[in-house]
Amino acid sequence: MSIKLTMPVFLQAITNDKETIEVSGSTVGECIDAVIKIYPALKKMLIDDKGKLHNYVGIYINGEDAFPDELKKPVNDGDTVHVLYTLAGG
Amino acid sequence: MLSEEERQRYDRQIIVRGIGEEGQEKLKQARVVIAGTGGLGTPTALYLAAAGVGTIRLIDNDKVELGNLNRQILHWTKDIGRNKVDSASEKLRQLNDKIEVEAVTETITEATVSRLLSGFTLVLDGTDNLEARFVINSYAVKNGIPFIHGAVNGFEGRLTTIIPGKTPCLGCIYRGTIPHIKTPVIGVTPAVIGTLEATEAIKYITGVGQLLTNQLLVYNGLRMRFTILNIKRDPACNYCCHL
């Protein structure tokens, strides 16, 4: 299944300025694993030492908040998964 | 009642459909806090002062530094070393001497937040760290005070309007803090988000339009794109689950 994973500007420094990366997967977690295979530096930005999503990273499937258990949420062909990174600047 | 001078000063916005003299009077009676007078807080304050918000309390414990001047547009070269709230309030009073501007040189903490925000009807986010935002969020939720949240990094920004008990609060959106880093910012980004915060404040006060509630605006200045994400209340939120 083809899923469009959309990265925040903050993480596009790692994805060579690519905003949307098409990956395959049937869950959010599989999609995240797939994008980490392409850009290994994303791993520590998204996933903690226990293999869970950092609590400052949000996941939105087709614009809807996927919290809780985001990584287990199923995705379907053509879905857009938006990765939201917490910003703190002002 | 608006004076003749106020009618002239605000003429162009009084004729905006939905505002009128009634809306202008609401702006005059409004009491808002702008927490922080940095990149976000200064454009927010500038436009709320220009619009005639009657009482604006500025809270910030910092002094103006040279490295602030690329984005904190109420602080100028001559202000380096001054308290930020003194620098900002001076310009706001020069812009509009018909409003009250309160300059408070303090830090918002759990110990001070009640004293600093009590008696105000709206809080706007001009802070530069998540810890202060969560302190404000906690107070706002407990006391039913709307909190307009903004944040920036580089060319990227966020915005949402929190109405306690009706919308997600900050704790529903952000489930943890991020490591402290020196945040990269180009001045136009907090200008965009701060001005949008002011827009939300004017809408809230006058009742015109629809607020950005239950939604998070994600601004991408590099691609000039505004994306809306639907946020939801977290039934287990540490801050607002009881509401």
What residue in B sits closest to A46 (Cα-Cα)? B178
| Total domains in the fold of chain A | 1
- Please indicate, yes or no, if residue A38 is contained in any of the structural domains: yes
- Please indicate, yes or no, if residue A90 is contained in any of the structural domains: no
Q: Are B148 and B211 in contact (CB under 8 A)?
A: no
Chain A residues whose beta carbon lies within 8 Å of the beta carbon of residue B37: none
The three-state DSSP-derived secondary structure of A21-52 is EEEECCEHHHHHHHHHHHCCCHHHHHECCCCC
Q: How far apart are CA A59 and CA A8, in angstroms?
A: 11
pTM of the complete model: 0.97
**Residues A28-78: tens digit of each pLDDT:** 999 999 999 999 999 999 999 999 999 999 999 999 999 999 999 999 999
Task: Calculate how close chain A gets to B64, using CA atoms only, in Å.
Answer: 15
Neighbours of A26 (CB within 10 A): 13
- Please indicate, yes or no, if residue A71 is contained in any of the structural domains: yes
Residue span of the structural domain in which A9 resides: 2-85
- Please indicate, yes or no, if residue A76 is contained in any of the structural domains: yes
Task: Calculate how close chain A gets to B4, using CA atoms only, in Å.
Answer: 37
CATH, residue A31: 3.10.20.30
Q: Residue B176 has what pLDDT?
A: 84
Q: Are B146 and B214 in contact (CB under 8 A)?
A: no
What residue in B sits closest to A63 (Cα-Cα)? B229
Please list, residue by residue across A38-52, b when 16 or more beta carbons sit within 10 angstroms of its beta carbon and e when fewer do.
Answer: ebeebeebbbeeeee
Q: Are B212 and B159 in contact (CB under 8 A)?
A: yes
Q: What is the mean pLDDT of each run of 10 residues along chain B (243 residues)?
A: 97 98 98 98 98 98 98 98 98 98 98 98 96 97 98 97 97 88 95 98 98 98 97 96 92
Q: What is the sign of the dihedral through the CA atoms of A36, A39, A42 and A48?
A: positive
What residue in B sits closest to A90 (Cα-Cα)? B128
Domain B4-230 has CATH 3.40.50.1820: no
Query: Which member of B178, B223, B228 has the closest CB to residue A88?
Result: B178
Q: Residue B181 has what pLDDT?
A: 82
Q: Residue B58 has what pLDDT?
A: 99
Task: Calculate how close chain B gets to A56, using CA atoms only, in Å.
Answer: 5
Provide the β-strand partners of residue A61.
A64, A81
Q: How far apart are CA B172 and CA B241, in angstroms?
A: 9
Neighbours of B67 (CB within 10 A): 10
Q: Residue B179 has what pLDDT?
A: 76
- Please indicate, yes or no, if residue A42 is contained in any of the structural domains: yes
Please judge whether B185 and A89 are an interchain contact, meaning their C-beta atoms are less than 8 angstroms apart.
yes
